[in-house]
Structure 1
């Protein structure tokens, strides 16, 4: 993420979704009749999403909400609700997940962006932390906000290996990359709009089996199956509205601008 209050486009988000390859989903659209203003990809198993965009109108400004699984204490199976509903709640006008009974949800990180900046909610299964992100560049993984000293929650060894390798590789690249100012609307292709970030969004040329890969593929073996980056999203919030671009098949490299109006 990049937060720059002085920019024409104050909030930029690059989001890579990792999921099991056999988990079906649908391309971003207005999939939820009870939330007609929201645009997002729909998880066919549970009906929720990992990223929801609200374009904004005269009564409410634009907003994006995206979800990452976290580590911590899991909800009891008989009470568990899908975390996929959380971005939908957070992206809706007046929506705040802190008002929910969070003991019914497994741990999560929820990023919420508006034209004036970004905030991050973290639920570890016991407590909820709510923080406003400072201006600058930030990386968030399943461990949470990745900072220079890396004093972060514990996690399974294999997950830590993958997360730390990604962070070490991509943090300096993100910090050094020219910051784009993507404008919404037709006429400007994704690669031109996001110029300075496109190499990062395409995975920086790393092989999918590389431990550092942003666009990765990992076979957990046994009944677990193959886990891979199933889509990459780019979202910009600014004075001119929202721009939302998606690569729905990162290994193919085909980008499209998602209609949000």
Structure 2
């Protein structure tokens, strides 16, 4: 997952709104969001290589999502899959703060990452590169492959467009439009993360099309004050074209 924008109590009718793109190698197999047979209360896509997930929601209202931290010098060959951290947060029972602090105790074992977790009452983040765990106030937050709200061009633009899209709810077309934006940032605004200039350019838009790599799916999650959830996910093929769509609607078991 390489771009997540979260509206946390930023809309009067929807306490949680999430718009996200998962970017991954095209050859890595995965399946779209579904209710897991081995964890029946978990709705998430699944990485078929390591068995974990990048983002999901539980019937009880737990939310978790992870992005990798882009810095080739922090690469850890043989490290365990970070997707298991997301799964464990979604199936755990601790509140968000305690859940993230438990992750922080072991995060050095993994390649660098950022992890967002909500228990339905609070939303927090752990950044493994800084070691920080913090709970977030109501607002709109953007996360890519650096720490929260790093002002990369795609993060800044996505937050601005997400905030505008909140005003259009319940219409959701603007959220998909921001996730499908494949316009690269100007070269003079590109970050320097240790990859080549070509890769910085390929990775700079919200929607990525790069050699052997790209945006594999886009997800929109809406949770309203009546505990009704809409979880909508679009999958894209190797050319970045529409491949499939799934929509799940349900009411949180917690009656949030």
State the TM-score bracket (shorter-chain normalisation).
Answer: 0.7 to 0.9
1:15 — aligned with what? Answer: 20
- Number of equivalences: 219
2:220 — aligned with what? Answer: 234
Give the direction of change, closer, same or farther, for the CA distance of 1:47–1:176 in structure 2 (3 Å limit).
Answer: same
* Unaligned segments of structure 2, at least 5 residues: 1-5, 185-200, 252-256
Contact persistence 1:75–1:105 (CA under 8 A): no
2:58 — aligned with what? Answer: 54
**Structure 1 position 85, deviation (Å):** 0.4
SS of the equivalent of 1:7 reads: coil
Structure 2 matches for 1:96-107, cutoff 5 A? 96-100=99-103, 101-107=106-112
2:210 — aligned with what? Answer: 218
Contact persistence 1:165–1:211 (CA under 8 A): no
State the alpha-carbon separation in 2 of the partners of residues 243 and 141 from structure 1. 23
**Structure 1 position 210, deviation (Å):** 6.8
Give the direction of change, closer, same or farther, for the CA distance of 1:52–1:217 in structure 2 (3 Å limit).
Answer: same
Give the direction of change, closer, same or farther, for the CA distance of 1:103–1:134 in structure 2 (3 Å limit).
Answer: same
Give the direction of change, closer, same or farther, for the CA distance of 1:39–1:177 in structure 2 (3 Å limit).
Answer: closer
Contact persistence 2:220–2:231 (CA under 8 A): yes
1:145 and 2:148 equivalent? yes
C-alpha offsets along residues 191-228 of structure 1, whole Å, 9 cap, x if unaligned?
A: x4x24423223x24748x87652111112xxxxxx110
Give the direction of change, closer, same or farther, for the CA distance of 1:98–1:75 in structure 2 (3 Å limit).
Answer: farther
Decide which of 238, 243, 246 is 2:233's aligned counterpart.
246
Provide TM-score, normalisation by structure 2. 0.73
1:38 and 2:26 equivalent? no
Bigger helix share: 2
* Unaligned segments of structure 1, at least 5 residues: 57-61, 151-163, 183-191, 220-225
